[in-house]
């Protein structure tokens, strides 16, 4: 009898734990975007003021880019909070003390890790099949882009993601994979920190410069780089601005969109 009871207890416990989360607070734009791609936006009850995907859907704003309103989150009674590596550890501990499940998702270091995190999020919301399908479609598209660029060698790129100070995409980040998969050398490949000087970029003379949008700063940076006529990227008209809402957003879909756009822009000239 005890064995039967134990079996039933384990079975019920597993069933409860296996239930998808239905009241989710997202503390990063990429998490919110992923929930929309998974068609799980109805499960989202709160997000940050930077979550573009949720604009117009009347989701509760519970956080800025880095500071969460813990009291407001608790009042929403979520069954899951998706936190990033930027979320204050003290806020995470406080949420846990109130019995709220907190899933910490760190910034992925590669396209592969992006896909793994997306599948995990699909599991959390009961959308595993859809997550796997979207990842498979993304991987197939990436393979085609890689194949098209396989014969193109000895190309260098500077991918700028900040100004004042100038900031570059560095190795061991998912954005470095844009260049790796395109078969292009990242001129910042040997850097640990991303801060660089214009002299550094000029000395490495990249074939391409991509600038992630930073409001009006992006346009200013474009004009500044075009004044350096000695640069290959300037001479060949290969300086491009790319939307940071896509390029800096680690989801399989936005990663593919960025790769397709970069591939097209480099091929048009």
Say which CATH number the domain at 181 has: 3.40.50.1980
Domain identity same for 57 and 156: no
Same domain, 118 and 160: no
The pLDDT, as a whole number, for residue 216 is: 63
pLDDT per position as a tens digit, 98-138: 999 999 999 999 999 999 999 999 999 999 999 999 999 99
pLDDT digits (tens, 9 = 90+) for 220-264: 999 999 999 999 999 999 999 999 999 999 999 999 999 999 999
Question: pTM for this structure?
Answer: 0.89
Residues 216 and 254 grouped into a single domain: yes
- Per-residue pLDDT of 159-199, as tens digits, reads 999 888 899 999 999 999 999 999 999 999 999 899 999 99
Specify whether 243 is located in the same domain as 186.
yes
Are residues 107 and 196 both part of a single domain?
A: no
Asked if 183 and 109 sit in the same domain, the reply is: no
Q: Which domain holds residue 126?
A: 21-132
Count of domains in the chain? 2
Q: Which of 132, 163, 186 is the last residue of a domain?
A: 132
Residue 31 lies in a domain: yes
**204-232 residue pLDDT tens:** 999 999 999 866 678 899 999 999 999 99
Q: What is the mean pLDDT of residues 25-36?
A: 97
What residues contact residue 13 under an 8 Å CB cut-off, 6+ apart? none
| Same-domain pairing of 159 and 251 | yes
Please check whether residue 219 lies inside any domain of the structure.
yes
Is 190 part of a structural domain of the chain?
A: yes
* 213 found inside a domain: yes
pLDDT value of position 18: 64
1 belongs to a structural domain: no
Nearest Cα residue to 33 out of 243, 262, 252 = 252
User: Residues 36, 73: one domain?
Assistant: yes
Asked if residue 87 belongs to a domain, the reply is yes
Task: Judge if 126 and 180 occupy the same domain.
Answer: no
Q: Is 212 exposed, middle or buried (0-12, 13-18, 19+ CB in 10 A)?
A: buried
Give 74's pLDDT tier (boundaries 50, 70, 90). very high
């Amino acid at each position: 009898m005890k064995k039967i009871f134990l079996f039933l207890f384990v079975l019920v416990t597993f069933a409860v734990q296996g239930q998808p989360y239905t009241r989710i607070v997202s503390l990063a734009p990429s998490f919110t975007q992923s929930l929309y791609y998974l068609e799980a936006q109805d499960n989202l009850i709160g997000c940050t003021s930077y979550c573009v995907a949720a604009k117009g859907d009347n989701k509760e704003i519970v956080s800025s880019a880095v500071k969460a309103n813990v009291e407001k989150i608790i009042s929403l009674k979520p069954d899951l909070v998706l936190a990033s590596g930027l979320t204050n550890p003290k806020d995470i501990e406080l949420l846990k003390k109130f019995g709220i499940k907190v899933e910490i998702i760190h910034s992925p270091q590669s396209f592969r890790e992006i896909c793994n995190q997306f599948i995990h999020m699909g599991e959390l919301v009961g959308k595993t099949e859809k997550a796997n399908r979207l990842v498979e479609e993304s991987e197939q598209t990436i393979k085609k882009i890689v194949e098209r660029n396989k014969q193109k060698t000895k190309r260098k790129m500077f991918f700028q993601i900040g100004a004042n100070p100038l900031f570059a995409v560095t190795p061991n980040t998912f954005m470095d994979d844009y260049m790796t998969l395109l078969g292009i050398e990242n001129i910042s490949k040997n850097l640990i920190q991303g801060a660089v000087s214009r002299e550094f970029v000029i000395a490495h003379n990249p074939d391409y410069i991509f600038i992630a949008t930073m409001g009006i700063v992006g346009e200013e940076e474009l004009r500044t780089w075009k004044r350096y006529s000695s640069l290959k990227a300037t001479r060949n008209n290969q300086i491009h601005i790319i939307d940071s809402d896509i390029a800096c957003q680690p989801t399989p879909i936005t990663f593919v969109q960025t790769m397709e756009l970069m591939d097209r822009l480099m091929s048009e000239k």
